[in-house]
């Protein structure tokens, strides 16, 4: 056992397929290097302690909003017979509750830190074994896409119950990510869609299948390097996501602003009802311009990511 264990996890972006992925449709997502979480763990003197921007204090007093962390730690302690008390430090640059996978990333970073502390190899399969249990507590009925994307290193095509495969996002285009600054409500949105599914099963299922088809079209557009078509798929997906009640005025405003300023397509990303939106830009110059415009329009923060394998910025 080492004296200190450390683990890192990036955030994630869902390009296409949020919400419909919960109902078995495919989704495209990638680990987002623009943001990340570093966790370190070591022995402590008196009591187990958590140090983070959202809570610092004894583990026994951690608030209910941190149940994913406390449940995860319980599983890890039980499995590894970790010596208690311990001191866990979490440094995050992922804005919480913005659809960037901060809860899955916290879980992946902590799990990796514990594996490192215990000097055991943290394979993706082993990490997911622990993280999925914690995510089920945090999200209610997660599809598993967040944890799977974040515990890997590459963009993936994911389908619940089937699994994932690496998927190269090799396209001559740039993705701008903008944070509305408003907390998203993934858990609530997932729950409300489940209610819609009960109340209007035919229509809601049809919308899910349409979202799935759009993801498949987007996949083809990426393979053929056709940014215009991908942008179109994003716009259509946003229309359906709005009908499902997952957008809100903050997202709509930034999406509209992006479309009025030469974005090829724009949509929410993640759980929605706040959180982040993404916009597709033809090249880096127009992406950087979009970043400035979105900030002027009220975005809290923006990032830019090259979608070509050789275009990371
Ligand atoms: C959240 O990042 C993505 C959702 O599809 C929920 C899930 O897949 O668990 C909204």
Q: Which CATH number fits domain 4-166: 3.30.230.10, 1.10.150.120, 3.30.230.20, 3.60.15.10?
A: 3.30.230.10
Q: Give me the pLDDT at residue 170, please.
A: 87
Averaged confidence pLDDT in the chain: 95
Superfamily for 172-310? GHMP kinase, C-terminal domain (3.30.70.890)
Identify whether the C-beta of residue 182 lies closer than 8 Å to the C-beta of residue 304.
Answer: no
Identify whether the C-beta of residue 187 lies closer than 8 Å to the C-beta of residue 103.
Answer: no
Q: Give me the pLDDT at residue 312, please.
A: 47
pLDDT in tens, 83-138: 899 999 999 999 999 999 999 999 999 999 999 999 999 999 999 999 998 878 76
Spacing, Cα 48 to ligand 1 middle (Å)? 31
Judged by phi (left if over 0) then psi (alpha if -120 to 50, else beta), residue 161 lies in left
pLDDT in tens, 153-204: 999 999 999 999 999 998 999 999 999 999 998 989 999 999 999 999 999 9
Flag whether pLDDT at 48 surpasses 60: yes
Regarding the beta carbon of 18 and ligand 1, being less than 6 Å apart is answered yes
Spacing, Cα 205 to ligand 1 middle (Å)? 16
Task: Give the number of the atom of ligand 1 that is nearest the alpha carbon of residue 19.
Answer: 5
ipTM of the complex: 0.99
Flag whether pLDDT at 311 surpasses 70: no
Q: What is the pTM of this model?
A: 0.96
Regarding the beta carbon of 25 and ligand 1, being less than 6 Å apart is answered no
Round to whole Å and give the CA distance between 109 and 10. Answer: 8
Round to whole Å and give the CA distance between 122 and 108. Answer: 10
**Stretch 213-239: mean pLDDT, rounded?**
97
Q: Give me the pLDDT at residue 138, please.
A: 66
Q: Give me the pLDDT at residue 210, please.
A: 98
Same fold: 4-166 with 172-310:
no
pLDDT in tens, 136-146: 876 677 899 99
Q: Give me the pLDDT at residue 309, please.
A: 63
**Which of the listed residues 190, 207, 208, 251 should we mutate to test ligand 1's pocket, taking the one with most ligand atoms within 8 A of CB?**
190
Domain boundaries in the chain? 4-166, 172-310
Q: Which of 91, 116, 146, 296 is catalytic?
A: 146
Regarding the beta carbon of 190 and ligand 1, being less than 6 Å apart is answered yes
Contacts 24+ apart (CB under 8 A), 72-77: 72/107, 72/110, 72/111, 72/130, 72/131, 72/133, 72/134, 73/110, 75/130, 75/133, 75/134, 76/110, 76/111, 76/114, 76/130
Is there a catalytic annotation at residue 45? Answer: no
Strands (E), the chain: 4-16, 27-43, 49-51, 56-58, 86-92, 156-159, 163-166, 174-179, 265-269, 276-281, 301-306
**Band of residue 304 on the pLDDT scale cut at 50, 70, 90:** very high
Round to whole Å and give the CA distance between 133 and 147. Answer: 10
Judged by phi (left if over 0) then psi (alpha if -120 to 50, else beta), residue 31 lies in beta
Which residues contact residue 249 at a Cβ distance below 8 angstroms, ignoring those fewer than 6 apart? Answer: none
Q: Give me the pLDDT at residue 137, please.
A: 75
């Amino acid at each position: 056992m080492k004296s200190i264990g450390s683990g890192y996890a990036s955030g994630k972006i869902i390009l296409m397929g949020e919400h419909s992925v919960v109902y078995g449709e495919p989704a495209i997502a990638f680990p987002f290097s623009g943001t990340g979480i570093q966790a370190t763990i070591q022995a402590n003197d008196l009591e187990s302690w958590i140090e983070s921007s959202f809570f610092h204090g004894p583990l026994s007093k951690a608030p209910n909003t941190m149940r994913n962390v406390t449940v995860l730690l319980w599983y890890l302690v039980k499995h590894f017979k970790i010596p208690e008390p311990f001191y866990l430090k979490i440094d995050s640059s992922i804005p919480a509750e913005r659809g960037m996978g901060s809860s899955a990333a916290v879980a992946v970073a902590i799990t990796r830190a514990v594996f490192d502390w215990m000097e055991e190899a943290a394979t993706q399969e082993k990490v997911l074994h622990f993280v999925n249990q914690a995510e089920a507590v945090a999200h209610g009925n997660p599809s598993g896409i967040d944890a799977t994307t974040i515990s890997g290193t590459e963009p993936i095509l994911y389908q619940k119950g089937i699994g994932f495969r690496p998927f190269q996002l090799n396209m001559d285009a740039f993705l701008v990510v903008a944070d509305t600054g408003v907390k998203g409500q993934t858990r609530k949105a997932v729950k409300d869609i489940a209610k819609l599914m009960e109340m209007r099963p035919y229509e809601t299922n049809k919308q899910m299948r349409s979202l799935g088809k759009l993801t498949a079209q987007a996949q083809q557009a990426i393979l053929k390097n056709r940014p215009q078509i991908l942008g179109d798929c994003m716009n259509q997906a946003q229309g359906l996501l709005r009908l499902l009640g997952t957008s809100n005025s903050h997202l709509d405003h930034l999406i509209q602003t992006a479309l009025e300023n030469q974005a090829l397509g724009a949509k929410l990303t993640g759980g929605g009802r706040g959180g982040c939106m993404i916009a597709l830009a033809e090249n880096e110059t127009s992406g950087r311009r979009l970043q400035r415009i979105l900030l002027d329009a009220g975005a809290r923060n923006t990032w830019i990511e090259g979608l070509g394998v050789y275009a990371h910025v």
